[in-house]
Amino acid sequence: MIQIHRYPGVTEWRFTSLGSRLAGYAARAFLTDDGVLIDTGIPACGAALEPMLDASVVRGAIITHHHEDHAGNVERLARRGVPLWIAPDTLPRLTSVKRIGAYRRVTWRSMPRLQSAVMPFDTGDMRMLPSPGHCADHHVVWHAPSRTLFSGDLFLGVAVRIAHHREDPWAMMDSLERMADLEPARMFCAHRGLVPEPAGALRAKAAWIRRTIGELQRQIAAGRSDGAIMRAVLGGESLAGWASAGDYSRRNFVRLVRERQALRPA
């Protein structure tokens, strides 16, 4: 299902599947009045996307990162000849798609790999800014004339206690602070939609991560186990953690901090 919501200058396409609705998730793509599509929606909505594309002027699409809820229909767009901006780090992860966990297949479905030719895209006023943390190839899209930030998966919420096992909370803090310094007037999050007071929200998230890492580090230094720390600091495992068999979990957050701690010289 794709639902449409209009904002001044921007149309939100909100994608859900039966699985994602049961899990309480939606993924968004955004189409500017200038014809720039940011992200491509979920693979489960591929067929429903076709009439939307037929009825819209899309002069090109920008992919924020390789995850299937963002790049899920990239092959569909390439096949239609829509020009694409894809970061060099992202491209190989779209042309050869890794198998994803069952919870992601149920929520979003697996994405077809990109095999059609990629037409280059002149993105005009849009700037793609590296913003690693959520994943290494993550980019946000910044439109300076309207001070609008399309934040992909950089934000998601202030106190997000679950993590993928390859996230980098330190890089995320840096990315959040750099994007807050742009002082965006508007921010569109791929999962939350329009976020009020974006600069404050980005700084609040960076501060929450810094505080939480500090607390996790203290608990690790005190010799406590991952499970005990997760319960004490993060309130125990989340439903997503159980449903994803630990792939997207609070325990991962503890583990990421412990691994980083172990790399430090004594």
Residues that bind Zn ion (CB under 5 A): 67, 153
For the bound state, the minimum distance from the C-beta of residue 65 to Zn ion, rounded and expressed in Å, comes to 6
For the bound state, the minimum distance from the C-beta of residue 192 to Zn ion, rounded and expressed in Å, comes to 13
Q: What kind and span of H or E run contains 258?
A: helix 250-263
Cβ proximity to Zn ion: between 153 and 247 the closer is: 153
Cβ proximity to Zn ion: between 53 and 71 the closer is: 71
For the bound state, the minimum distance from the C-beta of residue 164 to Zn ion, rounded and expressed in Å, comes to 8
Distance between CA atoms of residues 70 and 66, nearest Å: 7
Q: Which residues pair with 262 in a beta bridge?
A: none
Cβ proximity to Zn ion: between 97 and 232 the closer is: 97
Distance between CA atoms of residues 160 and 173, nearest Å: 13
For the bound state, the minimum distance from the C-beta of residue 111 to Zn ion, rounded and expressed in Å, comes to 12
Cβ proximity to Zn ion: between 153 and 226 the closer is: 153
Distance between CA atoms of residues 149 and 249, nearest Å: 27
Distance between CA atoms of residues 85 and 183, nearest Å: 25
For the bound state, the minimum distance from the C-beta of residue 8 to Zn ion, rounded and expressed in Å, comes to 27
Q: What kind and span of H or E run contains 231?
A: helix 226-234
Identity of the residue numbered 147: R
Distance between CA atoms of residues 137 and 134, nearest Å: 9
Q: Is 225 helix (H, G, I), strand (E, B) or coil?
A: coil
Cβ proximity to Zn ion: between 75 and 153 the closer is: 153
Cβ proximity to Zn ion: between 67 and 109 the closer is: 67
With CB atoms as reference, the residue minimizing the distance to Zn ion is 67
Q: At which residue do the structure tokens 């930030």 appear? A: 149
DSSP letters for 58-92 = --EEE---SSHHHHTTHHHHHHTT--EE--TTTHH
Cβ proximity to Zn ion: between 153 and 168 the closer is: 153
For the bound state, the minimum distance from the C-beta of residue 264 to Zn ion, rounded and expressed in Å, comes to 28
Taking CA atoms, 24 is separated from 18, 68, 110, 143, in Å, by 10, 17, 18, 30
Pairing relation of β-strands 186-189 and 148-152? parallel
For the bound state, the minimum distance from the C-beta of residue 228 to Zn ion, rounded and expressed in Å, comes to 29
Q: Which residues pair with 142 in a beta bridge?
A: 127, 149
